[in-house]
Amino acid sequence: MIIYTNEGNPLGLQLQILAKFAKREVQVQLVNLNDSKYKHLLVLPTLELDNGLQLFSTAAIAKYLLADEGQQRDEWLEWSTTLLAPALAHHMGVGHKADPNALPVLNGLVKKLDDHLKSSPYLAGDKITSADLAVWSLLAPDGTLKGAQNVDHLRDWYGRLKVLPEVQQVLQQQPLKDLSFNALQQSNRYGGLHHITLKRPSLVDAGKLLAETGNTLADTITDEEIEAARTAFTYVEPKKLLEPRTVLPKAGERNVLITSALPYVNNVPHLGNIIGCVLSADIFARYSRSAGYNTLLICGTDEYGTATENKALAENLTPREICDKYFELHNAIYRWFGIGFDYFGRTTHQEQTEIVQEAFKDVHSAGYIITESVEQLLCQKCDRFLADRFVEGTCPHPGCGYEDARGDQCDKCGKLVNATELIRPRCKVCNSAPVLRSSDQLFIDLPKAEPKLREWVDKADNGWTHNARVITRAWLREGLKPRCITRDLKWGIPVPHAGFEKKVFYVWFDAPFGYVSMTKRYTKDYQQWWQPAKGTDVELFQFMAKDNVPFHSVVWPSVLLAINKGHTLVSHIMATEYLNYEDGKFSKSRGIGVFGNDAQETGIPADVWRFYLASARPEGQDSSFSWNDLAARNNSELLNNLGNFVNRALVFCEKNFNSLVPEVVLTQDELILLALINRELRGYINSLEKAKLRDGIRHLLAISRHGNGYMQTQQPWVLLKGDETQKKRAATIIGLSANIACLLANLLFPYMPSTARTLFDQLNSKQTTLNASKPLATLLLPAGHKIGKPAPLFAKLEQAFIDELKGKYGGVQAQTESAKSDQLSVADLEQAIQAQGNKVRELKASTKDKSVWQPEVNKLLELKKQLEAAQKAAPSAVQAPTKSGTPSVQDLEKAVQAQGEKVRQLKSSTKDKSVWQPEVNVLLDLKKQLEAAQKTASAAPVPAASAPATPNGEQVKALENKIAQQGEKVRTLKASGDATVWKPEVEILLSLKKELATLTGVPAAAPAQGKSKKKK
């Protein structure tokens, strides 16, 4: 027989042992699945029998090779392949495959084994079976049981199997140290076993059994790493981080200019905005400074434009007053978040006007400006030209047809729209239809700049994030078109061009120059940053959310290339995806989500917010803010991991060594720890050099996890009570731990500056330069260094508190989790359907991958079915009339009202017709019934209690007919869509209904209101 397996595959060991027990000869052949010779193999190891049959399931092979050993054995065999093996593979995952949940699950499985072996010598009874061999050969590689506690029965069993001659023979040919579950990644084309979600047992926590990883990782350390760790760990007088008053780029040094997309002054920034640009930029800038680069971080508010003008009108202030007011708000929020801008400016400074006007003159004299007469939309009712954002209408792009497309961009298909091309445009303010008027505008000739731009993009986009590259390529593929840079507004920078005195620059022409003008506010030598002399290299990092990419990668660079005066062009566009709020969207109007000022009110420290947002940063794909995740990360990572380690190290030092850092005498254990830390340190530096802030956090936490593991295994508290040599050992452990704490403070600084400062105080130390070119841990605190007073750095976030916050900022979304149980009320189901509907829509919008959203759609359909059933089963107010034969007019009216209310709610919450249409149908049906009932009621004598006066039957009938006709008319008109046309007819309908109401004394339900409200 032949075993085909890959290098290090632990399941290969199992097959060899099984074959040995079955007394069959095997030959092991190491293969690579990428090798075309083996492309027929699905999963490794595969056993080829002498008759040519190939089997890849170890359990199937065990059952085939060894005769029937009973059902219990079969169950254990299945258990070992479907539960134990995936858990071990997850447990050994590193990097982005690391799974913090694996250890508890694995502990549960180990406990089950131990419990079972308590009462039975072997897994399936009194004799060794293939099940024992299977489980043993899974536990043996990676030394899973090394350092495990309270698993004596399992250990005993393990030992008994290990000494079996068959096992020993195999181990001689196949040493355990060459095997690891990591190798499973190369054992199939599905990425190993990582796609399997581990099953969390519903039983109580099994407790701590297995040792945390570290033992096994240590085996992978090479001698070179040990040597590097040993030589690096010496004390060198730390270079103090000196920051000049004004940072300027220097020739021959690394100069990093960082900008964050300018937040629009009118919006209160939410957490997504904050992590998308300002916070990311700040963390990166702090890192860059601590790596010793000349770093400048510039940001400010973007203040010009129609939105400001309009807000000013609404609040009865001047635009400048509005800007002043909101600027303070922004400034305060960013200050609270600890964003350390070198300068936080505004686009309404005088410098901005000068720079933009000069830039315009340069572009103009370079021949990149065209004048064209433009047809613009004028709203006669509001008496002004409508800026793009103030027109809405149907998207003109073929195949889209979205009804609420904005004048500059369609939210549905994402394409840019020309306001005049909108089908059936309407003024966003007054909803009336605007007219076309023409006026002269200036355009920047992007097509002329295109060749230069393409050439530049090809060179520059290596340093950009993937999404930035994709978006830019898409723009270039479609070809550039001239873009209008002037507007008929007042609140903006005047255009210095004859005939255009009354116009201003469009914000997208002026805003990017804000980066330059704000630098000018910071220093008069701003040109050293933006137009550096030959020999001085400035790297420009621009942080933004992905919707801002085209303006930073195409439009502004085109302008600068057109000016051709050696401007610094962006070398690194750092674009994030979107941050969702608990799987929904942030929405100010619906009170959903956490906004900048809310974060402050929660009482959770700014640093914790910074930490959480950075670790949930939407790098590469959208991510979600979640309260539970926030609490979990705070409690498990900050408090239990990082805080716990640092605090233990310092408290031991204070209590046992009189606050003096003891001498560190490195032994093999310390060197292994340092080598592991150096690995993570390198990862941290590499990640942050590329502004991968999320990965940086992971490496940082891994360092303190190593530290914790080290303390846990060394147990200095035991050694401290021992003899002299043991005390010396304890001193080394504490001394090294204090040094790691100091390293952590340095690494933590970009993310949590004030926490890091507190920690430096506790260490009585200062921040030191990170050596990015040679990232190795050094001795930061020499023996005899006196530390300060240790105190806990983090506080626990209690679940009750988090639940409270969740309710407060959750809007309606918080209540969706009740959709699980079988018997749900109609209301619950409706809510669940709404939530699920939202989810489906979002999924569909975000991805085209059907396999992703189809399951959710199925869930939605299932829910709808359930609702139908529930409605039938539980006769609600709505359904009651149809059951009780001839319902009274009153009942029907109530039902109509209730149903009308329901329809309105549904319509306001969703635009998905398929959701509300059925309810509308129910409503229409009810109305028909009501009509009929009213007819019979008016014919028959009406009970005195229900109506004070008997209405004139004839009159009522006539009115009802009219209403029915008018209703029909309104419905057909509405179907055609144009509000201006159907509105007056609705008025007529309503007045008719009122008339009827006065006659019958019953208030008319007015479903039309719902519809007109739907459109915001």
Q: Which residues in this chain contact other proteins in the complex, by CB under 8 A?
A: 42-43, 51, 53, 55-57, 59-61, 63-64, 71, 74-75, 78-79, 81-83, 86, 108, 112, 188-191, 193, 195-197, 199-203, 399, 849-852, 854-855, 858
ω before 948 within 30° of 0 (cis)?
Answer: no
Nearer to other proteins, 94 or 852 (CB): 852
What distances in angstroms separate CA 48 from CA 45, 54, 294, 691, one per listed residue? 10, 4, 63, 49
Nearer to other proteins, 42 or 718 (CB): 42
**Cβ atoms of 136 and 158 closer than 8 Å:** yes
CB of 11 to other proteins, least distance (A): 12
DSSP string, 622-675: -EEE-HHHHHHIIIIIIIIIIIHHHHHHHHHHHHHSTTBPPPP---HHHHHHHH
Nearer to other proteins, 255 or 866 (CB): 866
Nearer to other proteins, 125 or 463 (CB): 125
Query: Furthest-apart CA pair in the chain: how many Å?
Result: 111
3-state secondary structure of 195: coil
Nearer to other proteins, 202 or 821 (CB): 202
CB of 108 to other proteins, least distance (A): 8
CB of 89 to other proteins, least distance (A): 11
CB of 756 to other proteins, least distance (A): 38
**How far apart are the C-alpha atoms of 825 and 829, rounded to whole Å?**
6
DSSP string, 260-321: EPPPBTTSPPBHHHIIIIIHHHHHHHHHHHHTT-EEEEEEEEB--SHHHHHHHHHHTS-HHH
Q: What are the φ and ψ backbone dihedral angles of 954, each rounded to 5 degrees?
A: -60, -45
Nearer to other proteins, 36 or 851 (CB): 851
Nearest to 746 by CA among 675, 688, 664, 663: 688
Per DSSP, 989 falls in state H
Per DSSP, 125 falls in state B
Q: What angle do CA 683, 685, 691 make, to 5 degrees?
A: 105
CB of 72 to other proteins, least distance (A): 10
**What tokens does 917 get?**
């249409």
Contacts from 493-496 at CB under 8 Å and sequence distance 24+? 493/304, 493/352, 493/353, 493/356, 493/357, 494/353, 494/357, 495/360, 495/442, 496/357, 496/360, 496/361
CB of 61 to other proteins, least distance (A): 7
- Count of residues making up the chain: 1016
What distances in angstroms separate CA 251 from CA 248, 257, 520, 869, 947, one per listed residue? 10, 14, 20, 75, 92
Q: Left (φ > 0), alpha (ψ -120 to 50) or beta: where does 745 sit?
A: alpha
Nearest to 708 by CA among 682, 668, 737: 737
What's the helix, strand, coil split of the chain in %, to 5?
55, 10, 35
Nearer to other proteins, 188 or 758 (CB): 188
Strands (E) located in 463-505: 483-484, 486-487, 504-505
What distances in angstroms separate CA 834 from CA 480, 819, 986, one per listed residue? 41, 11, 28
Nearer to other proteins, 54 or 921 (CB): 54
CB of 36 to other proteins, least distance (A): 13
CB of 60 to other proteins, least distance (A): 4
CB of 561 to other proteins, least distance (A): 39
Q: Where are the alpha helices (DSSP H) in 491-567?
A: 507-510, 513-522, 527-530, 549-550, 556-563
Beta bridge partners of 11: none
CB of 424 to other proteins, least distance (A): 20
Nearer to other proteins, 80 or 816 (CB): 80
CB of 823 to other proteins, least distance (A): 18
CB of 191 to other proteins, least distance (A): 7
Nearer to other proteins, 598 or 856 (CB): 856
CB of 858 to other proteins, least distance (A): 8
Nearer to other proteins, 36 or 51 (CB): 51
Nearer to other proteins, 85 or 744 (CB): 85
